[in-house]
Chains A and B, each alone.
Chain A
Amino acid sequence: MNAWQLALVLAAAAALTGCYREKREFQPATGAASAADTTRMTRIHPGPGEPVQSGSMPHAEGQRDDENAFAVNQGKRLFRWYNCSGCHAQGGGNMGPPLMDDKWLYGHAPAAIYATIVEGRPNGMPAFGGRIPEDQLWQIVAYVRSLSGQLRKDVAPSRSDGMAGAPPENVRDEERPIARADPQPKPVEPAQAASPAASAASGAPR
């Protein structure tokens, strides 16, 4: 190898450091709880108390994690930590409907999935609004979309931390959502949205 070749190799190696894939947010946002006073489609919500509004709510629009592999992987972990998998299993569905097929009862767009998680849906889906922080919600939304192959292959998770019954998200075929003519759910009254346990748990203003 002569000096020119060596210089070329070194230059190529130096150029590699300039590669930039995506911006990753390692520090959690503070004061970013999702809206507690949103519309509710269900009376079910996790935990006994009413959600506490903590800090200001950043505007949701434009917060898309669909193209960020780190965020999607975070969403995958949160999917398990917040026990989404308790009802939806690893996307195949159990008590809750499957998330890896082509049927989307309440829409497949990120905003629609976000609304489903925050507002809850009739027949069992709890409302997580005001509990799961805003940034984590969008990570979960992105991951839910990856379950049916809606994301780019280089963004979707490639392998699981634990045992998994399904092939990795990034090798799944993209499911084409089937349009359905279901009636939209009707919001429940705010007074009804509070569970009986809530009054016992907290009485202070929020």
Chain B
Amino acid sequence: MSIRTTFAKTMPIGIGAALCVTGVLAQGTVPLAPGPHDALAAAGPQAAQIGQLWNLFLAICTAVFVAILAALGWALRRAPRANRDSAPDLSMTHRHEGGPYRSVVLAVAASTALLLLLVVASVWTDRALARLPLEHAVNLQVTGHQWWWEIRYEGSPESQTFTTANELHVPVGRPVVIRLLADDVIHSLWVPNLSGKKDLIPGRTATVTFQADRPGIYRGQCAEFCGFQHAFMAFEVIADPPDRYEAWAALQRQEASEPGEGPARRGKEIFLGSTCVMCHAIQGTDASALRGPDLTHVGGRTTLASGTLPNTDEDMKRWIRNPQQLKPGVNMPASSLADADLQALVAYLRGLK
């Protein structure tokens, strides 16, 4: 972690939060609040390291700032502004001033030493981040799309692999290794409570590692401007105790549940026979398109459209009816389903727990 990225990391928090709030209010939709989106409220070793580095920077920079202002105040007090009519005193230009000379040398030396200290601290932090032990790690692959996250849990054997979207579940106390890919443009994965930012660059593979030590829901956000709906490209990291995580993973590996009698059955027919199936996949059915998020267990997720909406019947209906109204520019066309059919479709999708 370099000095530059540390500053870049913390500067946009306030601005980002302010923009988020305005955006949310403007849309009239309030996503679920998952705890503080705070880079200083560390919930794992990686974020704690970065937090320590930030505190060191803050302390040193504050001390330097105060010292400089004190020196300025002292100088102003010592030699107040001369009378406008008196001639300037140029006598000091002809003689060597020992005192000021020593002060300047001392200040330059102190600045150099402090900057070097910060560089060393940055390098140390970087190395500490790389030292996270990775035994029994959970291996994930996250692909950034405009504007959602495709999340693939790699299992061995291959049949244990499953794909989900916009919701990362991790077990508490186990390291997580995420391979980062991008489908279209540069994105950046950032979960302030757990780890620093890492860019997802098309054509390149990057890796980020972190570990959650406290159960909870931590909000993640795309941190590299990636187009129209960059602000609504969020996700949630849900850190669960290991047994709950395993139960969740076992459920995700299963195919979609077959709808019972009633509207849900009709909803499945509509899904397979309308435009949905041209982009989305539901494991266990013939729907296998990979353009949009995998919907095999969409009913069990907490948000829709990458953190844009809470996952409720009403919001899902609004979303399918006209996504452009809720997330303008999103790559999903409006649907023209009749109201009863839309109702049935939502009953089916929400039933896919």
Task: List A residues at the B interface (Cβ < 8 Å).
Answer: 26-33, 46-52, 54-55, 77-78, 80-83, 130-136, 161, 197, 200-202, 204, 206
Shortest CB distance A134–B (Å): 7
Which of these, A31, A81, A130, contacts B332 with CB under 8 Å?
Answer: A81
Task: State how many angstroms separate the Cβ of A160 from the closest Cβ of chain B.
Answer: 13
Report how many A-B pairs have Cβ atoms within 8 Å: 104
Shortest C-beta distance, A58 to chain B (Å), equals: 10
Inter-subunit contact B321/A28 (CB<8 Å): yes
Alpha-carbon gap, A54 to B291, bound state (A): 24
> Do A131 and B337 contact each other (CB < 8 Å), given the known contacts A47-B287, A49-B286?
no
Pairwise interchain contact B269-A49, C-beta atoms closer than 8 A: yes
Write 9 A-B pairs (CB below 8 A) sorted by A numbering: A30-B336, A31-B337, A49-B286, A52-B270, A55-B337, A136-B334, A161-B329, A201-B286, A204-B266
Q: Give per-residue flags for B287-309: 1 if the beta carbon is below 8 A from chain A beta carbons, else 0.
A: 11101000000000000000000
Residue B1 at the A interface, CB < 8 A?
no
Complex Cα distance, B276 from A46, in Å, reads 10
Q: A46-B277, A47-B277, A54-B270 are in contact. Are A30 and B332 (CB under 8 A)?
A: no
Q: Give chain A residues whose Cβ lies under 8 Å from the Cβ of B335.
A: 28, 133
Q: Which residues of A contact B334 (CB under 8 A)?
A: 28, 133, 136
A204 CA to B274 CA, complexed, in Å: 15
Give the Cβ gap from A25 to chain B, nearest Cβ, in Å: 11
Is B160 in contact with chain A by the CB < 8 A criterion? Answer: no
Whether B269 contacts A204 by the Cβ 8 Å rule is: yes
* Beta-carbon nearest neighbor of A131 in chain B: B275
Asked whether B338 is an interface residue with its Cβ less than 8 Å from the other chain, the reply is yes
Q: Please list the residues of chain B having a beta carbon within 8 angstroms of any beta carbon in chain A.
A: 228, 265-266, 268-270, 272-275, 277-279, 285-289, 291, 321-322, 325, 329, 331-339, 341
Distance in Å from the Cβ of B271 to the closest Cβ of chain A? 8
Closest chain-A Cβ to B229's Cβ sits at a distance in Å of: 12
User: Can you name 7 extra interface pairs (CB under 8 A) apart from A30-B321, A31-B338, A49-B272?
Assistant: A30-B339, A49-B286, A81-B332, A81-B333, A82-B278, A134-B336, A201-B273
Q: Say whether B269 contacts A52, CB under 8 Å.
A: yes
**A47-B273, A49-B272, A201-B286 are contacts. A54–B333 as well, Cβ < 8 Å?**
no
Residues on B with C-beta less than 8 A from A50 are 273
The 9 closest A-B pairs by CB, nearest first: A48-B286, A49-B272, A52-B273, A133-B336, A47-B277, A28-B334, A55-B338, A31-B338, A49-B273
Specify which chain A residues have a CB less than 8 angstroms from the CB of B275 in the assembled complex: 82, 131-133
> Least Cβ distance of A135 to chain B in Å?
7
> B333 touches which one: A26, A30, A82, A206 (CB < 8 A)?
A82
Q: How far is the CB of B341 from chain A (nearest CB, A)?
A: 5
Residues of A within 8 A of B338 (CB): 30-31, 54-55
Distance in angstroms between the alpha carbons of A32 and B335 in the assembled complex: 9
Residue of B266, B285, B333 with most partner-chain A CB within 10 A: B333
Cβ-defined contact, B274 with A200, below 8 A: no
Cα(A136)–Cα(B279), bound, Å: 16
- A38–chain B nearest beta-carbon distance, Å: 15
Q: How far is the CB of A161 from chain B (nearest CB, A)?
A: 8
Contacts of B329 in A (CB 8 A): 161
Given known contacts A47-B277, A52-B269, A132-B275, A81 and B331 CB-to-CB distance under 8 angstroms: yes
**Most chain-A Cβ atoms within 10 A of its Cβ — which of B270, B291, B338?**
B338
Q: B273 near A206 (CB under 8 angstroms)?
A: yes
Q: Min CB distance, B318 to chain A, in Å?
A: 12
CA A17 to CA B291, docked complex, whole Å? 42
Residues of chain B contacted by A133 (CB below 8 angstroms): 275, 334-336
Residue pair B278, A83 in contact (C-beta under 8 Å): yes
A133–B338 alpha-carbon span in the complex (Å): 11
Partner of B285, one of A31, A130, A136, A201: A201
Measured in the bound complex, the distance between the Cα atoms of B333 and A29 in whole Å is 12
From A28, A83, A136, contact of B291 by CB (8 A): A83
Residues of A within 8 A of B285 (CB): 48, 201
Residues of A within 8 Å of B336, CB to CB, are: 28-33, 54-55, 133-136
Q: How far is the CB of A190 from chain B (nearest CB, A)?
A: 16
The distance in angstroms between the C-alpha atoms of A46 and B339, with both chains bound, is 23
Complex Cα distance A55/B285, Å?
24
Smallest CB-CB separation from A33: which chain B residue?
B336
Contact of B277 among A26, A32, A48, A204 (CB under 8 A): A48
Question: In the complex, A132 Cα to B228 Cα: how many Å?
Answer: 25
Assess the A30–B278 pair: CB atoms within 8 A. Answer: no
Given A52-B341, A204-B269, residue A131 in contact with residue B331 (CB < 8 A): no
- Cα A131 to Cα B276 in complex, Å, equals 9
Given contacts A28-B322, A30-B338, contact A54 B274 (CB under 8 A): yes
Complex CA–CA separation, A197 to B287 (angstroms): 10
Asked if B269 and A206 sit within 8 Å, CB to CB, the answer is yes
Q: Is the CB of B272 within 8 A of A54?
A: no
For A130, what are the chain B residues with a Cβ–Cβ distance below 8 Å? 273
